[in-house]
Amino acid sequence: MGETIDTDICVIGAGSGGLSVAAGASQMGARTVLIERGAMGGDCLNHGCVPSKALIAAGHAAHGMRAAGHFGIAPVEPAIDRAGLHRHVRHVIEAIAPNDSVERFEGLGVTVLQESARFTGPREVTAGDTVVRAKWIVVATGSTPLVPPIPGLADIPYLTNETIFGLEEEIDHLIVIGGGPIGLEMAQAHRRLGARVTVLEAGRFLAKDDPEATAVVVERLRAEGVDLRDGTKVTGASAREGGGATLTVEDADGGTETVTGSHVLVAAGRVPTTDGLDLEAAGIAHDRRGITVDRRLRTTNARVFAIGDVAGGPQFTHMAGYHAGIVIRQALFRMVWARTDDRAVPWVTYTDPELAHVGLLADDALARHGEGNVTILRWGFEENDRAQAERRTDGFVKAVLDKRGRVLGATIVGAGAGELLLPWALAVQGRMRIGKLAGVIAPYPTRSEASKRAAGSAFTGTLFSERTRKLVRFLLRF
């Protein structure tokens, strides 16, 4: 017979959202059980955000050696040490891992069960031989890579984000299926680290982003030698004699050809992880998009919450952390009014240049509010002194305002765009008028001045109008 644990909160999944709930709840005095069948830290630490950004940083360093000629420094072709590269990625993970470890959470008073979890009742979860009965249950199981039903794909040793970072062999030609953020980030990083790269995308690259901003990213990747093919459908896959794979592709005009590479990376999206949970036993509705939740993140079982990727919303680590705070306020403090607000969800694609966005895209704002009720502001980095000094003037800041001058959304494409987005996220979240940003004192010389200049451009027509000139001439008479 196994053990039975009665607890206040049971969290299933030790990724970003689950860890945030468990740490917060335990430190605030709630009895907390955390169940994880895989590695602590979940996808973000082990297979996602952390290793990918470490690899991107390595690619950036290699690219800097090749691109130094602009500064009067002789460019050199870097020698890539594959073993050293993978040590770097592992060391970054290992440096962060103690924050997510079993030891840390047990030190916080959390009971950690390293088992698979499944519901055996509305308020009961079984993990191995242990039965957990909880007042509240939080499902935070994240998502896994979507593998499209391409004939023959299952018969080749394809890679996903869960396997590519552990690959120590040299990649000669990487074929990427999918032109979203993960696909383009990995394409550019591996190109900079010496591989040939082809990206096959059925639709438009970075389809959820501003097309004008996306064009800047696409142009840079092509300039660096990445073979980008949009409107291309993969119709078959087969193993190549001697290693590697051959993909059959169909273009937008119906023509077919084959693409052969040493490795294939599937980056075609993600699906919520619900397998093995036996959600029906707890009366929890779900579909292929994830677990059904309301704005309070409650499932169809009022005692169970779902957060992060498994809840079917925007699949970002920072959203899982945001969800954790909403659940804690409800479960511990009975703040039933705590609910999600997706109006100011930020995201960043970590290509070079980066592409960052928050709020409404320009096209969506025009469709929702009407052309006469929307103002679009734009300021290019070619007008920014810091960007000129760094020889990185590609990109711009674009802001979308309503007819009252409130910020509805913003897109930034350029070097370090993600670091420049926070003021715009604050503006969208707080329904701020553009004058607040225009009046901020920005340090010189920084790229953040581009945001101030974009905001200030909202008043250019009024400040430098003929009416203003007449008023100034009149006042100067006295």
Question: Any binding-site annotation on 208?
Answer: no
Is 308 annotated among the ligand-binding residues?
Answer: no
What is the rounded distance in angstroms from the CA atom of residue 113 to the CA atom of residue 99? Answer: 17
269 annotated to bind ligand:
yes
Q: CA-based angle 359:271:54, to the nearest 5?
A: 70
Q: Say if residues 40 and 97 touch (Cβ distance below 8 Å).
A: yes
Residue 151: CB atoms within 10 A of its CB come to 12
- Facing residues of 411 across strands? 357, 398
Number of neighbours of residue 174 by Cβ within 10 angstroms: 24
For 40-67, b where at least 16 C-beta lie within 10 A, e where not — what string? bbbbbbbbbbbbbebbbebbeebbeeee
Residue 183 assigned ligand-binding role: yes
* 142 annotated ligand-binding residue: yes
By three-state DSSP, how is residue 287 classified?
strand
- 101 annotated as a binding-site residue: no
Q: Please classify residue 85 by burial: count the beta carbons closer than 10 Å to its beta carbon, then call 0-12 exposed, 13-18 middle and 19+ buried.
A: middle
Tokens (6 digits) for 406: 């409130």
Q: How many CB atoms lie within 10 A of CB 405?
A: 15
Per the annotation, does 321 bind a ligand? no
Is 156 annotated for ligand binding? no
CA distances from 53 to 35, 373, 386 (A): 27, 39, 24
Task: Give dist(CA 411, CA 358) in Å, integer.
Answer: 7
* CB contact at 8 A, 51 and 92: yes
Separation between Cα atoms, residue 289 and residue 4, nearest integer Å: 33
Determine the length of the chain. 478
Check whether 143 is labelled as a binding-site residue: yes
- Is 185 annotated in some ligand binding site? yes
Task: State yes or no: 175 annotated in a binding site.
Answer: no
CA-to-CA distance for 314 and 143, rounded, in angstroms? 11
248 is in an annotated binding site: no
Given a contact cutoff of 8 angstroms between Cβ atoms, the answer to whether 379 and 393 are in contact is no
Instruction: Single out the residue of 340, 246, 253 nearest to residue 297, CA to CA.
Output: 340
Whether residue 42 contacts residue 85, with contact meaning beta carbons closer than 8 Å, is answered with no
Question: Hey, what amino acid is at 306?
Answer: A
- The reply to whether 439 sits in an annotated binding site is no
SS3 369: helix
What residues are designated binding site for NAD(+)?
178-185, 201, 269
Please state the residue numbers annotated as binding site: 53, 141-143, 178-185, 201, 269, 309
Residue numbering of the annotated binding site for FAD = 53, 141-143, 309
